[in-house]
Structure 1
């Protein structure tokens, strides 16, 4: 049973959760009511340890029994029968953003799956309490970094114990992207997974979805447990996913794949630890697609200001999110029906380097062959350069310079009109070949039919001739 105390959070009719799913006055986000879903926010109080590694690399509590109070945000079917699956997301240190929800909300809503987001990072808790909404989040307090593992564990325990209603009744997938993807890797690899148990002894987490995070990327890919800890070495085996009574997927763009090769191993069909690595060609850590998050709007309404940022190049039109949805569907099918997930080729690397092999067009070779790389109208690159107008980020953001952020942003270099016509003769010829590439991607099991229609509808915009 959970050792925590949890209660619904409600201040007034005009008060909304930070990062709420929908702001109706400006039609921003996802209107859950249209999908027969509801959103509920809770306060969660408990105790946690501040974790570090001892001299032998084992988990050690640097301090125990530290009180905390955090917030838990849930979205689940309002009526009828949900699937029972819950995706649990530790919210990102950049404005407590739900990056996984942003990418897969259509899949969650279609499948009537539940979602739970948890504030776990100490600086974000302070931002919520002191800047974003001092009334609503007056009690929120995570005193120190290193408590985030126990904070999340208490939220998961509350869910599987039935304290959150429909959330946590079936399989639980822990999912993160970027910094929170790395967080999920640490939970699985550093022994927390084995500690988090249900009342019947089973692991509380059934699956791990680690998005756009490289285990080989130093402290970014495997962060120290706390300020009282040090980074594990570059050859530490924990950087490479191993079977631990859970299914685990790593889904990477080109950006992360550059440094990830040295910590990868073959896909596994071991019943106690199914593992897949999916590397999505022509994608980048940050892409320019429209999102559904409301965090920045709410932050700026409270007087916050995000620094100006843009890149010199043309932003990418790649869609990593569509393939992430396919990965979630494959994991769900394994968890509920034992259907083995599809396998995919890895990127080609120049031997002994972090350089990806590229074809004559400059596009990556290997990996999941996306339609915009199979039938290209541009060269896709995973790194960019900041514009002259870009400003330094504030202290709470996980980047210290615009150049660091720009390195994560994808861009494209369009082919000349003459090149397009030499390849495809006409727009009609291009669209026919693009549609064929989409069908092949669907047949691979890594792009869902319903999401393929998004690519087909946008395909005419890729023709720049």
Structure 2
């Protein structure tokens, strides 16, 4: 079951009523690095690759007015050191609630080898103040937002389902999201203002197209922008983004087409189970599903947990992201057209996920890891905080591998065929095929 084309049109007609609002033009201040004052980054951000690809990192303070209150936050730009190499495309990513920018980490090599740029935006007040500013109060002394609760108020784990009923757990999680939305009410206008700065030379580049992307909680930020902030425009009246890519968010109702923009939505297998539990109804057990249009694609990835697993998020999401927004030939002219949506197979009446003999989900974005498995994939290993799930693989024994594939040569032949199908189906860039082949094949022996 998924939302049909008529329903999407009716929802769009009913919800696109907010008057157009032009955000306040921001100002920018370049932040120099010294021995005593360095740019703050989170997680393994792979910034050591910048020099290898001829890229540089520049940090700015962006100031303005959002949600009727002043703000000052930081933005982090990674771009070609040679301006002539810049493609004109920028990937804009809001920083995660707990810090970090996962989209950059997943697709950095694709960004850099194509001459694109990336902008990280600390748009969420509690996280920006209590993560970035707290780590270097002198460097970021000017950062401020409208008054909001401290991040510690949101860092407390919600009670596990074992301690309370499932209904109470989901209610608590809903309360958490509501409070966070109120505390970050400036975020949509800040993200829009950053788009303006990228286009008019405030950061020494002039973007021709900008894609707003996020993963996990920042994927929710992108998804909520699509739902609630389509009325926001740049100071000159232009739409802020040519495309949106919410990855592995909490889901919710089917997204509507955006004016003059494309949407690619990505869910892992575990995310589907979660969004069914959180938002599903008898009429629409998996509510985020809808038909394709000239501006929308939905990709569901079997075996992909919410958090990164051994291969899939580093390989498959990177390859998905390398197909930016060519549904009808627009955006990146050098890329093939985006393939049609790929949904994980579900049983009609219950919408339970349909599985093969290895317990792998059927349908969706097929990969060498699902079609020629070397392990049984378990995508649900819950952690303390809501919706933080790591996957794991239970490797087949050498005896099992021999029973399944008969010989190592046959395994390698089947895996090579699966990789070829990924290329033909549009879910793997040809230039990445050899890397994936080495990752998937060369370490396997039995």
TM-score band w.r.t. shorter chain: 0.7 to 0.9
1:12, distance to aligned residue in structure 2 (A): 2.2
Distance 1:129 1:104, change over 3 A: closer
Q: 1:410 to 1:464 in 2, by over 3 A?
A: farther
Distance 2:195 2:50 in 1: 23
Deviations 1:11-52 (A, max 9, x none): 5234221117999xxxx6433122111110001111111xxx
- For residues 52-95 of structure 1, the C-alpha deviation after alignment (integer angstroms, 9 at most, x for no partner) is xxxxxxxxxxxx2x111100100111113311001111111112
2:123 aligned residue (120, 124, 139) = 120
CA displacement at 1:427 relative to structure 2:
2.3
Query: What is the Cα deviation at residue 453 of structure 1?
Result: 2.2
SS at 1:193's partner residue?
coil
Scaled by the length of structure 1, what TM-score is found? 0.75
- What residue number does 1:357 align with? 354
The equivalent position to 1:368 in structure 2, one of 354, 362, 365, is 365
2:241 corresponding residue in structure 1? 205
For residues 353 and 243 of structure 1, the distance between their equivalents in structure 2, rounded to whole angstroms, comes to 31
How far apart are 1:185 and its partner, in Å? 1.2
1:341 aligns with 2:338: yes
* Residue of structure 2 in register with 1:18 after alignment: 40
Is the 1:361–1:379 contact (alpha carbons within 8 Å) kept by the matching residues of 2?
yes
Aligned to 2:281: none
Distance 1:329 1:22 in 2: 21
Deviation digits for residues 297-349 of structure 1, max 9, x if unmatched?
A: xxxxxxxxxxxxxxxxxxxx232343333333322543143964111431112
After superposition, residues 81-230 of structure 1 pair within 5 angstroms as 81-95=85-99, 97-128=100-131, 131-143=134-146, 144=148, 145=183, 146-166=185-205, 168-190=206-228, 192-197=229-234, 199=236, 201-216=237-252
Evaluate the alpha carbon distance shift between residue 113 and residue 141 of structure 1 in structure 2; reply closer, same or farther with a 3 A threshold. same
8 Å CA contact 1:214, 1:256 repeated in 2: yes
Q: Does 1:287 align with 2:324?
A: no
Distance 1:364 1:29, change over 3 A: same
Q: CA contact under 8 A between 1:247 and 1:331: conserved in structure 2?
A: no
Q: Evaluate the alpha carbon distance shift between residue 5 and residue 440 of structure 1 in structure 2; reply closer, same or farther with a 3 A threshold.
A: same
Q: Which residue of 2 aligns with 1:70?
A: 73
Alignment CA distance shift 1:175-1:421 (3 Å): same
In 1, Cα distance between equivalents of 2:359 and 2:131: 44
Q: Kindly tell me the number of residue pairs found equivalent between the two proteins.
A: 373
Contact 1:282 1:318 in 2 (8 A): no
Look up the SS of the partner of 1:285 in the other structure: coil
Gaps of at least 5 residues in structure 2 are: 1-22, 149-182, 277-285
Classify 1:415/1:128 alpha carbon distance in 2 versus 1 (closer, same or farther; 3 Å).
Answer: closer
Equivalent residue for 1:262? 287
Alignment partner of 1:89: what SS?
Answer: strand
Query: Taking structure 1 as reference, are residues 128 and 369 closer, same or farther at Cα in structure 2, changes over 3 Å only?
Result: closer
Q: Please give the alpha-carbon distance, in whole angstroms, between the structure 1 residues aligned to 2:60 and 2:145.
A: 15
Contact 2:212 2:222 in 1 (8 A): yes
Distance 2:87 2:112 in 1: 10
SS in 2 for 1:256: helix
Partner of 2:409: 428
Q: Deviations over 1:160-183 (max 9, x none)?
A: 2221112x4211101111111111
Change in Cα spacing, 1:2 to 1:450, as seen in structure 2 (3 Å) is: farther
CA contact (8 A) 2:263 2:325 kept: no
Q: What is the SS of the residue equivalent to 1:409?
A: strand
Q: Are 1:443 and 2:424 matched, yes or no?
A: yes
For the Cα contact (< 8 Å) 1:347–1:366, is it kept in 2? yes
Query: SS of the counterpart of 2:120?
Result: strand
- Report how far residue 130 of structure 1 moved: 5.3
- Following superposition, the deviation at residue 197 of structure 1 comes to 3.0
> Structure 1 CA distance, aligned partners of 2:238 and 2:133?
39
**Residues 354-433 of structure 1 mapped to structure 2, 5 A cutoff:** 355-385=352-382, 401=384, 404=386, 408-433=389-414
- Judge conservation of contact 2:88–2:209 (CA < 8 Å) in 1: yes
Output the CA distance in 1 between the equivalents of 2:202 and 2:43: 22
Aligned mates of 1:405, 1:189 — CA distance in 2 = 21
User: Aligned partners of 2:109, 2:235: CA distance in 1, in Å?
Assistant: 29
User: Hey, what does 2:257 align to over in structure 1?
Assistant: 242
Structure 1 pair 129–36 and aligned structure 2 pair: CA distance change class (3 A): closer
State the secondary structure of the residue aligned to 1:341: coil
